[in-house]
A and B are shown apart, each in its own frame.
Chain A
Amino acid sequence: MVNLNIDGEQISVDKNSTILDAANKLGITIPTLCHNPELTTFGGCRLCLVEVDGNPRPVASCATFVQDGMQVRSSTPYLERLRSTNIELLLSDHPNDCMLCERAGNCKLQELAYYYGIRENRFEGTRRIYNTQDNNPFVSREMEKCVMCGQCVRICEEIQGARAIDFSYKGLWTKVTPPFERDLDCEFCGQCVGVCPTGALTGKMWSNKGRQKFREVDTVCSYCGCGCNLTLAVKKNKIVRVYSRKNTINEGMLCAKGRFAYEFVHSPERLSRPLIRVNPKSNWVLEDSDQPYGSGKPRQRLAGFQDFKEVSWDEALEYIAFKIREIKENSGPDAIGGLSSARCTNEENYLFQKLIRAVIGTNNVDHCARY
């Protein structure tokens, strides 16, 4: 353990922690844009500079290990001036269109500009202007708003392992792009969207659905058994975006389904009550124009939909129990098989096999993820 002093407060931390870690432990806020504790140190935004006694230059607190007896000052007029100049530089190359930006109100850069009171800019000059060319359905990329924090690049490589994007070009025109500046064509986990501090990366389906005053509903993802915690942003009783909080089991990370595949909730085709077949199976035809990203039009109803009858849960369960008992009596328990789902939790799957084995009395039980 190492003892150090930050802004007059003494703290003892592990020797592998950085000054920023120690300051966070003390509850001292040091502004950062590029720091993410889950990822490797980047040290690019230069906002987390602190003064250390005996050091002629300010040091980046995210990239400096603590040392015994260190005297750190996290905020002095000099440091605040350096930080505000850096933010001024960032804003001099920023479209400044917060009025239309998807992230307004939830943007780190906007917050810093507000905090440091930057309205006029001494460094007006060339700004990056790009053509948007992305034809993917999920991630909207406005690279003019990028502050080059590199979190998207790092999370893509280090956590997702996809390596779909990296830096290209040099100087002011450095840009995060997919290879050869082609359209983004990755697994669309949206992790990059999750970590982006500005409006450079947003969800395409979020656009013009509202930015603030959401009702936040915490829930668990129903797509698989992992149990990722989701937070649904609800407006006018409709989900407008999905994200996950940092302090959850999944540490704020989600996959493509959890993050983007929420439109089914409001689909008119969604089954909301049990159905019982009234007519026997006839020739079913599936819609053949099955586009990968969907056309946005409501799907054609399956042939034979009218062959079902809506019933209550009690009726449905009674019907199932009656039918199973009938088969078991007529043909024995091994005529029955149970297939459970990966979208259920471990506990639910356990209970299901218990039901099949103990109540029905057969070992014919399987699971879609077992292969």
Chain B
Amino acid sequence: MDDKKAVVKVCAGTGSVSAGGGEVLRAFENLSRSSGIKTGFNNRCMTQKVGCRGFCSRDVLVDVILKGEKTTYEGIKPDMVPRIFEEHIIHGRPIREWMAGDEHKRFHSGQTKVVLSHCGEIDPEELDAYAAAGGYGSARKAYTLMNPEEIIEEIKRSNLRGRGGAGFPAGHKWEFARKTRSDKKYVVCNGNESDPGAFADRCIMEGDPHSIIEGMMICARAIGADKGYIYVRDSYALAVQRLRRALKQCYEQGLLGKNIFGSGQDLDIRLYPAPGAFISGEATALLKVIEGKRAMPVPRMHRTAEKGLWNRPTIVNNAETLANVPGIMSRGAEWFAGLGTETSGGTKVFSMTGKVNNTGLVEIPLGTTLREVIYDIGGGISNGRNFKAVQLGGPTGGCIPESFLDHQIDYESLALAGTIMGSGGMVVFDQHTCMVDTSKFFLEITQAESCGKCTPCRIGIRRMYEILDRITKGKGRLWDIELLEELGAHIRTTSLCGFGMTAPNPVLSTIRHFRDEYAVHIKDKKCPAMVCKDLLSFSCIPENCTGCGMCKMVCPADAVRGIRKKPHKIDQQLCIKCGSCFDACKFGAIHIQ
């Protein structure tokens, strides 16, 4: 890069746009336009929007690259822009107090960026920017220099496994499709990421849409497909918009369409913005949606790689899996396999949320331990509290307690701990989280998202939710834990698709690791974490109460009685257990039981 140029990179992922990234970018653009004459310098200021770089808790992030030196600012608001422009870009003096500190370095130092390597570096809406970063080189290589068998061999050697959750080796899947004879084959990108709290695929689709298209092109070459679908959740408005734009650019440049790179092979990729239903991320249900039917999984009597869309061989790969492919082709299978463990190569993107200091998108090599991710990259538990559990894999994943923190993150170890890789959701809980309430929360989602096809999933998950509900309301029965375990195991064994097989995970894993907490809820009718409202009672400690009346003022139910300067009382009949009095009391006079 020309070191006389000043480059300003403004994060333009969804998180950043909602934090005001659009205005920051516009402010920079306006200033650079008007300043060209004023400064009289030769260097031209260039502003770029770039994809999400992961550290969403400190948005808006702005990189200023001046004379090849990169300075990162965090938490930038539009009114801070003139000062940065004035002092840093024109006078070359970085503003120390706004610069990203050690946390930012720590957040990034533990990560290995493969899929996200372009996110935060290049403009996702420009094909040229992607091409300048080496984009479409792998696809060109695959179409002109390699034959399909070589591509499949390369993917197999890289140990790339499906990032959608089940972790099926991608190379083997491609080989099945390659070997099946058919007049038409399809490649489908699964971008229906619906887990609450997961945003890995979303950031890839928003921050680097061309890498997905390139991955699909290589896959299509390998299996001989001439039609592709990018199945993306419609509510990811920015992702839909950027993918549509990327596809348009590819058609304009002749990267898609007829006779790609002179190889004689055609490829037509369509965008399929689908109304988001959780279950339509399941491969067979997804194919039914593209066929125009209701999103309902069908029994896998054949592999989708052999009989998928309209009974033709179809490769359904997650967006993250496909985004890994160009890197494998350009940097070699050995490099990729070397990043991960023996059984699974490469990296995995996790969306870290919950009670950690640094929330955001984290890409780590497989085989990293959970402790490294949460304490090194995540910066530990927020508010100095203690770690309690981490929930992996979205609402159908399980909770892992502290004793498993030193386990490696890979498909096998996570399965042993009772959870799944899933789409890469990682929710961290501190000691103030009630595990019964948490599993109830996840089951509330899954019971509503079941497609209703098979009995155990449709009725069973609802019944599990109802049992949990009565436990949190103090109406639990003594045999409820055993009943939950039996029903959970039953649903796991008998369900039709992967959704039902994993849906009881939150309950089964929390019973396994936090059985006492369930028992206390049922037997003692108490919630140790003080979360389940129906089990709490608020009372006033007369010794501590000064009668200031703050609690009386904030109580929305008028449940606090008392005269000024005299100890107050809380009417248990009226109390709605909102906790306002507890928060308002400065003397610690409110006691929760």
Contacts and interface: CB of A to CB of B under 8 A. Distances in A.
Nearest to B460: A89
A171 B452 contact: yes
A172 B456 CA distance: 11
B386 interface: no
B456 A86 contact: yes
Contact of B452 (A60, A85, A148): A148
Nearest to A121: B463
Binding site secondary structure of chain B:
helix
A46 B279 CA distance: 19
Nearest to B295: A170
Interface stretch (A37-45, A211-219, A248-256, A274-282): A37-45
A171 B453 CA distance: 9
Contacts of B298: 41, 43
B301 interface: yes
A46 B447 contact: no
Contacts of B448: 170-171
A170 B499 CA distance: 14
A57 to B, nearest CB: 6
Nearest to B294: A167
A89 B301 contact: no
A75 interface: no
A166 interface: yes
B495 interface: yes
A43 B455 contact: no
A122 B480 CA distance: 10
B407 interface: no
A49 interface: yes
Interface in A92-146: 92-93, 122-123, 125-126
Given A41-B301, A43-B299, A148-B453, A174 B458 contact: yes
B301 A46 contact: no
A335 B458 CA distance: 71
A85 B490 contact: yes
Contact of B456 (A89, A126, A170): A89
B450 A123 contact: no
A63 interface: yes
Contacts of B455: 44-47, 86, 89-90, 147-148
Given A41-B301, A125-B466, A126-B466, A60 B458 contact: no
Interface in B241-298: 277, 279, 294, 296, 298
B493 interface: yes
Interface in A76-97: 82, 85-86, 89-90, 92-93
Contacts of A63: 299-301
A333 interface: no
B348 to A, nearest CB: 25
Contact of B277 (A44, A60, A170): A170
Contacts of A42: 299, 453
Nearest to B464: A123
B150 to A, nearest CB: 32
B157 interface: no
A42 B451 CA distance: 13
A262 interface: no
B449 A171 contact: yes
Contacts of B462: 125-126, 171-172
B521 to A, nearest CB: 19
Interface in A159-174: 166-167, 169-174
B293 to A, nearest CB: 9
Contacts of B450: 170-172, 174
Interface in B444-488: 447-456, 458-463, 466, 483, 486-487
Q: Determine which residue in A47, A82, A170 has the highest number of CB atoms from chain B within 10 A of its CB, and name it.
A: A170
Given A44-B453, A44-B454, A174-B452, A123 B299 contact: no
Nearest to B448: A171
A124 to B, nearest CB: 9
B339 interface: no
Contact of A58 (B296, B454, B493, B496): B493
A49 B491 CA distance: 13
B180 interface: no
A20 to B, nearest CB: 12
A206 interface: no
A174 B451 contact: yes
Contacts of A174: 450-453, 458
Interface string A57-68: 110101111000
A280 B488 CA distance: 82
A174 B455 CA distance: 11
Nearest to A82: B494
Nearest to A94: B459
A46 B277 contact: no
Nearest to A167: B294
Interface in B402-422: none
A55 to B, nearest CB: 12
B452 A46 contact: no
A172 B460 CA distance: 9
Contacts of B301: 41, 63-65
A46 B495 contact: yes
A171 B294 contact: no
Interface in A167-196: 167, 169-174
Contacts of A150: 453
B294 A125 contact: no
Nearest to A123: B463
Given A126-B466, A148-B458, A49 B494 contact: yes
Nearest to A40: B298
B483 A46 contact: no
Interface string A275-304: 000000000000000000000000000000
B493 to A, nearest CB: 6
A264 B460 CA distance: 47
A209 to B, nearest CB: 32
Given A82-B494, A166-B294, A171-B450, A60 B299 contact: yes
Q: Determine which residue in B493, B494, B495 has the highest number of CB atoms from chain A within 10 A of its CB, and name it.
A: B494
B585 to A, nearest CB: 39
A46 B458 contact: no
A44 B450 CA distance: 12
Given A44-B453, A58-B493, A167 B458 contact: no
A247 to B, nearest CB: 27
Contacts of A47: 455
Interface in B281-339: 294, 296, 298-301
A125 B467 CA distance: 9
B442 to A, nearest CB: 14
B452 A58 contact: no
A123 B496 contact: no
Contacts of B461: 171
Contacts of B493: 57-58, 82
B487 A170 contact: no
Q: Determine which residue in B279, B301, B451, B458 has the highest number of CB atoms from chain A within 10 A of its CB, and name it.
A: B458
A175 to B, nearest CB: 8
B316 to A, nearest CB: 19
Nearest to B449: A170
Nearest to B301: A63
A64 B300 CA distance: 8
A171 B443 CA distance: 11
Nearest to A59: B299
Interface of B: 277, 279, 294, 296, 298-301, 447-456, 458-463, 466, 483, 486-487, 490, 493-496
Given A89-B460, A170-B449, A174-B453, 9 more contacts: A41-B301, A46-B456, A62-B299, A82-B493, A126-B462, A148-B452, A171-B449, A171-B458, A172-B452
The 10 A-B residue pairs whose C-beta atoms are closest, nearest first, are A174-B452, A63-B299, A43-B299, A89-B459, A125-B466, A123-B463, A172-B462, A44-B453, A46-B494, A171-B450
18 contacts: A46-B495, A46-B496, A60-B299, A65-B301, A82-B490, A82-B494, A85-B494, A89-B460, A89-B463, A92-B459, A123-B460, A148-B455, A148-B458, A170-B279, A170-B451, A171-B448, A173-B452, A174-B453
